[in-house]
Amino acid sequence: MKQEERANIQGVNISQRRKIFDDRGGIFHMLRSDDPEFQNFGEIYFSKIHAEAIKAWHHHSLMTLNYLVVTGSIQLGLWDGRKDSPTYGKSQTIYMDEQSSTLVTVPPGVWNGFKGLGNTSSIVANCATHAHSPEEITRKPYNDPMFQYSWELKHG
């Protein structure tokens, strides 16, 4: 996982997950009830995103998200929309892939979305603290000027 050199958004947590391999395959840990990141279980779902597609922007008023890339790679875009946060209006980019086995925890009020990278579709798991409810999610298009965010890959 590589993280772009931008302000880290308050409350966003990035942690490494354990992987165990043997000659039969492997086990990829995501989230346990005794992990410090765990708050509550609402639902788990998997989001498939095609290469170069963008699924953005949305934020939740109650739900904390716990993202882990199961297969492929993504660019995760974050923008802090919480007016009382010291990082309000700041963006953060995190590159995630199945090799890094990284869990990213996104608190309520932080706008987020992702872009599929590489040549194939990617699958992102989300273990959310609440079951999905249309009343607590807000959406905006990926190119909304409010975010001043570029989905172009950064080369360094």
Does residue 96 lie within any of the structural domains? yes
Tens digits of per-residue pLDDT, 46-90? 999 999 999 999 999 999 999 999 999 999 999 999 999 999 999
Across the chain, mean pLDDT equals: 93
One-letter amino acid for residue 149 of the chain = Y
Instruction: Name the nearest CA neighbour of 78 among 95, 96, 90.
Output: 90
At residue 3, the pLDDT reads: 52
Does residue 144 lie within any of the structural domains? no
Tens digits of per-residue pLDDT, 5-19? 455 999 999 999 998
Does residue 74 lie within any of the structural domains? yes
Q: Based on the structure, what is the number of domains in the chain?
A: 1
At residue 154, the pLDDT reads: 66
CATH code, domain carrying 30? 2.60.120.10
Longest dimension (CA), the chain: 50
List the domain range (segments joined by +) for residue 65. 2-139
Does residue 75 lie within any of the structural domains? yes
